[in-house]
Amino acid sequence: MPQPSHCPLDCPDACSLDVQVEAGRVVTVDGNSLNELTAGFICAKVRGLPELLYGKERLLHPLLRVGAKGTGSFERASWDDALGLVAAQMKGARDHYGGESIVQLSYGGSNGLLTQDTTDARLWRRLGASNLARNVCAVPTTRAAAEMYGKMPGVAFHDYVEARLIIVWGCNPGATGIHVLPFIREAQKRGARLVVVDPRRSKLARSADLHLAVAPGTDVAVALALGNWLFEQGHADAEFLASHAAEVDGYRARAARWNLATAADAAGVSVDDLQTLASWYAESNPAVIRCGWGLERNRNGCGAVAAVLALPAIAGKFGVRGGGYTMSNSRAFDLDATVAANEPASAARTINMNRLGRALLEATDPPVKVLFVYNANPVATLPDQERVLAGLARDDLFTVVFEQAHNDTVDWADVVLPATAMLEHAELSNGYGAMVLQHHGPVAEPVGEARPNYDVFTDLCDRLDLSREGDPNGPAELADAILGTSGFSREIEENGIALAPTGQRPVQMVDVTPWTSDGKIHLLPATLDDETGGEFYALRPDPATREFPLALISPAIDKMVSSTFGQTVRRQWPMQIHPDDAAPRGIADGDKVRVHNDLGEMHVLVQVTDRVRPGVLFLPKGLWSHHTLNGRTTNALVPDTYTDCGEGACFNDARVQVELLDA
């Protein structure tokens, strides 16, 4: 009999799973239909989960460093010795330099509500450790969606079948959230048009009626020009705006800086294509926009997302099933794991994870003495990789890595702690696409001596004398603390799953209205405009130079979730380059190239293809050192600059030069 569980990974779909377990080991993983969206199928990577769980890279025991930092040479230790050493180092750092000299580095995209922000937050808060700004992803999108709409839930993927026009903007669901695809296909069968806005010609783009291959970072101009055109051509819904929107004039004045011709020029697309999109959007009802995260990862990211999310308000696309937009639906359940910390937030300094390298090398007040990494793989995923590596190489830094797999970050640890993986520990997760909440106990035995986060952080609190009477501990107490009196526990007990209080298919502006303080849609939010010094919605110039003219972008691929599953991709990964950029450099398909800028250099194989637009290179995010020729990945070329609002990461602002490696 398969056992029910769910997938907690960083993916909108939150699949419900059937897991076949034999002798405590996972044999097969499949989808069931408890979460309706899963509809009985899951992605190939999670079907291949046994390789992640039982492959040779899995960490089985605590380890202590024996060789030089970065070499990954360790000897086995007991949990008691390893945690004793970690606790002693933390205590020493706090006593000599203050709690802020301890920095935790976690992201937790692939974790649910039990394995991040519970007992771990308790430890950091009571230690007075530095706070962490977890800004590597989704901060610009969240800022825009929150300030404009209070993050009200969006159009459910099921309802895409009702749409006559679907615009997929800066999102690649073929890799990053496959369960919307059957609904897009069904809508197409019923005659809907599909538009994809993406610098790459993804599989979805190839099947679209219109593919607008904008240059990275230029979406703000395109979306504002569309907004302006809607007003100028009499397609703006004045009545809707008058009753539901604020700052209409302010928005209009900014949008009026662009017309279809100037925006087409800025984005490097044809004005005819932009005109087609504008006309289709004006005339199609229902029309839905799937806004993704690809457009946020640059200097204009927050303005771009806001300009896209403004369009359904201006054109009056809400109020019908299949009309409006979908961004993140994470607020459909307003759950906060940190209540289980049983400790209020501390006033310690905040370190932005996007500048980890600088924090390790440059912080002086106090310097960082202990770095504790869990639920993240910073060597693979953070900007300015060379600076991160230089920081990790510091001999006077004590680094703990609490991980599932021997990845590139583990190589730099002084102490390695083996973590349980999904299905080996209890988890409580809500989707950010699917509007469901799921809760399951472990279905498989932990491998080796791996332990769950909630137990290890409780143990560390005990060792540091930071545990208190009444702290919730263990997965059941933590879940009770988080769910409180919400009623979701009972719903899960009765039905195996809880549905969002707004229902799984809310119609925007009917079943859900903006969760902003005044209930209005804010088209030019004051907080965002202030944060940019009155320059919200500006198109900041492209960071390309004569020396470094090519844009290297690094969106997701289907084989991995960020860096997770990287060990299961055992071959080099080629960087895509357009023939127009390859030919003048004498580069042919399969060649080895050197990609470089002022921050670093990477040696990779290339694939010459027109699936990227000219001027754009593509190598995916999250690669491991074994995927390139010199062990460096895209992030070695990514600046640690911030987005226009929210101090997010500008992964797609890497500008580089490419040449044949052996030339």
Ligand X SMILES: Nc1nc2c(c(=O)[nH]1)N[C@H]1C(S)=C(S)[C@@H](COP(=O)(O)OP(=O)(O)OC[C@H]3O[C@@H](n4cnc5c(=O)[nH]c(N)nc54)[C@H](O)[C@@H]3O)O[C@H]1N2
Find residue 616's DSSP bridge partners. 551
CA–CA gap between residue 24 and residue 290 (Å, rounded): 40
Q: Which is nearer to ligand SF4, 30 or 186 (CB)?
A: 30
- Is residue 10 near ligand X by the rule CB under 6 A? yes
Q: Which is nearer to ligand SF4, 157 or 412 (CB)?
A: 157
Among 129, 148, 178, 638, binds ligand SF4 (CB under 6 A): 178
- Is residue 13 near ligand SF4 by the rule CB under 6 A? yes
- Is residue 303 near ligand X by the rule CB under 6 A? no
Choose the contact partner of 172 out of Mo ion, ligand X, ligand SF4, none; CB within 5 to 8 A by kind.
Answer: ligand X
Q: Work out how close the CB of 205 gets to ligand X at its nearest, in angstroms, rounded to a whole number.
A: 8
Q: Which is nearer to ligand X, 319 or 631 (CB)?
A: 631
Q: Work out how close the CB of 427 gets to ligand X at its nearest, in angstroms, rounded to a whole number.
A: 8
What are the backbone dihedrals phi and psi of residue 326, each rounded to the nearest 5 degrees, phi first? -125, 125
Side chain identity at residue 461, one-letter code: C
CA–CA gap between residue 517 and residue 128 (Å, rounded): 32
CA angle 427, 431, 433 (to 5 degrees): 165
Q: Work out how close the CB of 49 gets to ligand SF4 at its nearest, in angstroms, rounded to a whole number.
A: 9
- Is residue 214 near Mo ion by the rule CB under 5 A? no
| Contact set for ligand SF4, span 530-589 (CB under 6 A) | 561
Other Cβ atoms within 10 Å of 336 Cβ, number:
11
Q: Which is nearer to ligand SF4, 185 or 235 (CB)?
A: 185
CA–CA gap between residue 179 and residue 432 (Å, rounded): 13
**In angstroms, what CA-CA distances link 559 with 202, 291, 562?**
15, 22, 9
Residue closest to ligand X when measured from CB atoms: 294
**In angstroms, what CA-CA distances link 467 with 55, 108, 126?**
36, 23, 9
Among 83, 137, 168, 478, binds Mo ion (CB under 5 A): 137
Among 21, 43, 121, 192, binds ligand SF4 (CB under 6 A): 43
The interface mask with ligand X, positions 396-415, x = CB under 6 A, is: ------xxxx-x--------
- Tokens describing residue 131: 């706070």
Question: Closest by alpha carbon to 114, among 433, 344, 334, 339?
Answer: 339
**In angstroms, what CA-CA distances link 208 with 162, 223, 268?**
17, 19, 19
Among 118, 176, 429, 607, binds ligand X (CB under 6 A): 176
Q: Work out how close the CB of 410 gets to ligand X at its nearest, in angstroms, rounded to a whole number.
A: 9
Stretch that binds ligand SF4, among 38-46, 129-137, 183-191, 574-582 (CB under 6 A): 38-46
- Is residue 651 near ligand X by the rule CB under 6 A? yes
Stretch that binds ligand SF4, among 5-13, 436-444, 569-577, 595-603 (CB under 6 A): 5-13
Q: Which is nearer to Mo ion, 35 or 564 (CB)?
A: 564
Find residue 521's DSSP bridge partners. 245
Sign of the Cα torsion 494, 495, 497, 500 reads negative
Stretch that binds Mo ion, among 135-143, 321-329, 603-611, 612-620 (CB under 5 A): 135-143
- Is residue 15 near ligand SF4 by the rule CB under 6 A? yes
Per-residue b or e along 476-492, where b marks 16 or more CB atoms closer than 10 Å to that residue's CB: eebbebbbeeeebbeeb
Q: Which is nearer to Mo ion, 137 or 291 (CB)?
A: 137
- Tokens describing residue 601: 């250099």
- Is residue 11 near ligand SF4 by the rule CB under 6 A? yes
Number of residues that bind Mo ion (CB under 5 A): 1
Stretch that binds ligand X, among 135-143, 343-351, 359-367, 535-543 (CB under 6 A): 135-143
- Tokens describing residue 464: 């540091």
Cα-trace Rg, the chain? 24
DSSP assigned state of 542: P
| Contact set for ligand X, span 145-174 (CB under 6 A) | 169-172
CA–CA gap between residue 516 and residue 497 (Å, rounded): 28
Stretch that binds ligand SF4, among 10-18, 81-89, 284-292, 331-339 (CB under 6 A): 10-18
Q: Work out how close the CB of 52 gets to ligand SF4 at its nearest, in angstroms, rounded to a whole number.
A: 12
Sign of the Cα torsion 250, 251, 256, 258 reads positive
At a CB cut-off of 8 Å and minimum separation 6, what does 56 contact? none
CA–CA gap between residue 5 and residue 84 (Å, rounded): 34
Question: Closest by alpha carbon to 574, among 617, 613, 614?
Answer: 617
Choose the contact partner of 15 out of ligand SF4, ligand X, Mo ion, none; CB within 5 to 8 A by kind.
Answer: ligand SF4
Stretch that binds Mo ion, among 114-122, 137-145, 381-389, 595-603 (CB under 5 A): 137-145
Tell me the pairing of strands 102-105 and 25-31.
unpaired
* SS3 state at 129: coil
Question: Closest by alpha carbon to 118, among 395, 405, 456?
Answer: 456
Q: Work out how close the CB of 228 gets to ligand SF4 at its nearest, in angstroms, rounded to a whole number.
A: 37
Stretch that binds ligand X, among 81-89, 324-332, 522-530, 633-641 (CB under 6 A): 633-641
The dihedral region occupied by 562, where left means phi > 0, alpha psi between -120 and 50, and beta the remainder, is left
**Residue found under tokens 């995916």:** 620
Instruction: Tell me which residues touch ligand X (CB under 6 A).
Output: 10-11, 107, 109-111, 115, 136-138, 169-172, 175-177, 197-200, 202, 214, 216-217, 219, 292-295, 297-298, 374-377, 381, 402-405, 407, 419, 453, 553-556, 558, 560-564, 621-622, 634-635, 638, 651-652
Binding site for ligand SF4 (CB under 6 A): 7, 9, 11, 13-15, 42-43, 46, 178, 561
